[in-house]
Chain A
């Protein structure tokens, strides 16, 4: 596929126009000077013929020549092109006139014109492909820069243009892209290191707390402690997950997942009741751990903020989680999930992180997550894979 708007063809067109203009100018100059030379030679020949003796059979002088003839001493020449392709050179003085045939000169001039046009066309025919070919090299370098920038945008921070030496503008832009990628890379790494350090600092005491709480003798107070430890743990994990997602360093680890069985397993692991219906035997290439996070968060959210029964429906590569509560608040439908914002009071308590995580994980696996309210009541979250 030839892209006519590419830089290569723009350069070729520029070269073609420039060569055309030069050829036209040179051609016109050569044409003009040759013609002037032919005319002056013709005049000399006509005057010589006139000196040898006027031709008496010419009849009356053409008015254009007669008007040029000033006094009795003077002589004049006139180029007669009244009949196309049969030109004459007239010469006249007081005694009479002669005319000589200029057809040979005209034919010579036309042949010269043809040669100039042919030569110009030949040069154009050679110069345009050569220019297109020569433009290919900078073009290729530019394309590599564009490709690298795209790879960086897609998350490959190790991508570099490796433009090498050379002091032209392409090297400069390539170096700028590399610098940008390196800066992004450093910032992301620092962010990830910070997140990892925070994770360590939070999880270490939390693990002590979790295992110690498990060791407590059963009782009402123990239940309170365990409940709060559980809440704290989920909160810490969710915050860490969100900061990992925000750092943009997450990538999907795709395998073939049989969605029906997967959704049933996933719902089962949440420990919450939900009715799973599967149509057909859909399989999708996706990251099961991330999809599990999405579905679990949606099911937990449906129970916490909506009302049972919760229905999970798998149809093709689309999974919907539906509850029969008051539906999503208007702010969520309008702006999408916002952290720590659960919206209307009737949605109940919670940290509002579950849906943010589900949306973030959906972005990582390239799935679309949509929130809407069923006209018949209840919130409907739809995950579309691929």
Chain B
């Protein structure tokens, strides 16, 4: 069963060419030309990843991302032609996992998609990890806060597992970019900051501590 990608892009050439390029890599591509169509297609279900343009007619990529996140934890990759702070930050705040700036090579796009689809490989028989009222089950990929299950998007979960594997240790942004997002030095550390913000909203703001000038650590 091949991976299904919902591609929402208003530029016809990009939609067609990216669709064909991804199909060559073995992905199944479901194209949509505007935000509302994209949302409709998404609700019809069965997508493993969303590839969204930011500037779309009707419902824009950021609005679409927010609407999808209300119900789903599917990985979302944004494509921005502007690449300025506002676009990128609003996309990541709306719940996108990562972004690429156009024009992107197909190989870069595929690498980003793979990084997002890569689940944290659970070591079999890993015991549950407990940090105060936060419980992480790396085997079942489940997270509980005060006994209540919390649903985390895949990137948030990978980030939390990275923290849980190194409790009380400060992890700098570069390490997190490398281990969670598969970036080298070329990664944008804002994706880390914004994902940490989203994680904090779900597991409690004081659970992930900011160590100024260095990075973050999980409070034991």
Please report A residues at the B interface, Cβ cutoff 8 Å: 192, 195-197, 199-200, 203-212, 214-215, 233, 253, 255-257, 262, 265-266, 269, 288-289, 292
Contacts and interface: CB of A to CB of B under 8 A. Distances in A.
Given A196-B82, A208-B17, A253-B189, 4 more contacts: A199-B83, A203-B102, A210-B104, A288-B185
A265 B174 CA distance: 14
B48 interface: no
B44 to A, nearest CB: 26
B146 interface: no
Contacts of B184: 265, 269
Interface residues of B, number: 29
A177 to B, nearest CB: 26
19 contacts: A192-B84, A203-B83, A204-B11, A204-B102, A206-B103, A207-B81, A208-B17, A210-B104, A211-B17, A211-B106, A212-B17, A214-B105, A215-B20, A215-B21, A256-B172, A256-B214, A265-B185, A266-B185, A269-B186
Shortest 10 CB-CB contacts between residues of A and residues of B: A208-B13, A207-B103, A211-B17, A207-B102, A203-B81, A210-B103, A200-B81, A288-B185, A196-B82, A203-B102
B186 A289 contact: yes
Interface of B: 11, 13-14, 17-18, 20-21, 24, 55, 81-84, 87, 101-106, 172-174, 184-186, 188-189, 214
Among the interface residues A211, A256, A289, which one has the most CB atoms of the partner chain B within 10 A?
A211
A199 B82 contact: yes
Nearest to B103: A207
B67 to A, nearest CB: 23
A211 B186 contact: no
A292 B13 contact: no
Given A255-B172, A262-B185, A212 B81 contact: no
A253 B173 CA distance: 11
A233 B102 CA distance: 10
Contacts of B17: 208, 211-212, 214-215
Nearest to A213: B17
A200 B102 CA distance: 9
B103 A209 contact: yes
A199 B106 contact: no
Contact of B174 (A200, A269, A288): A288
Tell which of A206, A208, A255, A262 has the most Cβ of chain B within 10 Å: A208
Contacts of A288: 174, 185
Contacts of A195: 84
Contacts of A212: 13, 17
A228 to B, nearest CB: 14
Nearest to B82: A196
B103 A200 contact: no
Given A196-B82, A265-B185, A292-B185, A207 B20 contact: no
Given A215-B20, A262-B185, A289-B185, A196 B103 contact: no
A204 B21 contact: no
A214 B21 contact: yes
Contact of A211 (B18, B55, B174, B214): B18
